[in-house]
Structure 1
């Protein structure tokens, strides 16, 4: 190397080490850049729907998809399916907040009086995704397919529950032409009133009058419907708009649809039979637990200022 021996010996004795290379690769996205990216991605509903690559482009960041995913994952962010919920105006949030506050301290005997009602549609299209057990090459095996129909047959169902039992299920017959105010008053309300009488006379209620819960759908809120309620002395609960999370029967519909979907009905007749069978099979324990969560639901609404909850 052209160095004197004394110089080499001096270096060896001093123990000077060769300079080390920096450990690891310089991160493609720094902490500061990651903060910018997340701030942009969570700016509003429009930006939350943008893919990571578009967010990076807007911020002038050059990084690959994997690097962007890793950066967002570090802060527990991921691309997930958006939850469907009805939009709430400020006035609707305030109404929900007022309702939750008014009912927060209700006791179980108070909730026992409420008859929760609603309509739901059941379709041969099924409910949610269908999973099958198969090998990679069995994708198109007949037993692994879900029939794709041009049109899906469906039934609209009306149901009512309380923490003490369930009411009759009313199927909207095709010849009725849909759920109009007239159909609701003539075909559905008589069954609701019968169930309310049963709830009122239940030993746990000690003849305290049942309270009817209806949402604000036009057949329920029609002037003639209100007159019928008044003539029958119905005690009706005020209901805030766009509040399915406060109605425990919504959870019952979800449970019922899951059970019906397991039967794989393909025709109107099969679908109706499945729905009627599964409704009849519902036990009090299947829905009483949803009613027992009402105080928790009220607290959840209050905690988010009248906004949406997990229910």
Structure 2
């Protein structure tokens, strides 16, 4: 639930960053984790869509099923390797994921550490002392991120598009291996054109937050 304090902090964050231009945002690597179920997405899947077209929603069976958790990141120039996460995650496992996937990806996209900034949400394993120490040791610069702000995190829109494509025509899966294969195939279809469109949407998102006095936006 978004409180008045959350809204206040979102507005302050936007006022801090709204003057940043494409040069700044194109250096930001956005990241997040996402859960996929064998039997469909959780509830109604949200995704970034052309407002001139009808939205699509996906239902989920009530009896549950096995799940797959993945970590991914994006830049305007491409997507990171997709990492399938095993078991309950902690700070150590999270940093292993970053070492295995984020650091090689950032080096390929940007070269030197000072050429990019890492975005992550406020999950406890992301902001733990262990993780902060690891990021500092590796020289990874992170940006402040307001709580309750998935509408500002453009990778959330990628996850929504992924769900639409993975579960096309309400598809369900019999095995984890089958689901993983489709997730990887769909991740590989994320185009540079789509990524650049999402990056260009960031100023509009921030204006929408200001217009709504910090409330959640249509994004």
What TM-score comes out, normalization by structure 1 length? 0.61
| 1:161-240 alignment runs, 5 A limit | 161-173=74-86, 177-201=87-111, 209-240=115-146
Contact 1:213-1:239 at 8 Å conserved across structures:
yes
Unaligned runs of 5+ in 1: 1-86, 131-145
Cross-structure match for 1:298: 206
- The aligned length equals 203
**Does the CA contact (< 8 Å) of 2:10 and 2:214 recur in 1?**
yes
Structure 1 distance, partners of 2:130, 2:61, is 42
| Structure (1 or 2) with the larger CA radius of gyration | 1
State the structure with bigger RCO (CA 8 A, min sep 6), 1 or 2. Answer: 2
- SS of 2:73's partner is strand
State whether residues 170 and 188 of structure 1, in contact with CA within 8 Å, keep that contact through their aligned partners in structure 2: no
Partner of residue 254, structure 1:
160
Q: Contact 1:185–1:225 (CA<8 Å) still a contact in 2? A: yes
Q: Check conservation: 1:113, 1:208, Cα contact below 8 A.
A: no
The 1:155/1:106 distance shift into structure 2, 3 A limit, reads same
Let me know the Cα RMSD of the aligned residues.
2.3
Q: Which runs of 5+ in 2 are unaligned?
A: 45-58
Hey, what does 1:123 align to over in structure 2? 37
- Displacement of 1:190 in angstroms is 3.3
Counterpart Cα distance in 1 of 2:157 and 2:71: 14
Question: SS of the residue aligned with 1:194?
Answer: helix
* Secondary structure of 2:151's aligned partner: helix
Secondary structure of the 1:245 match is coil
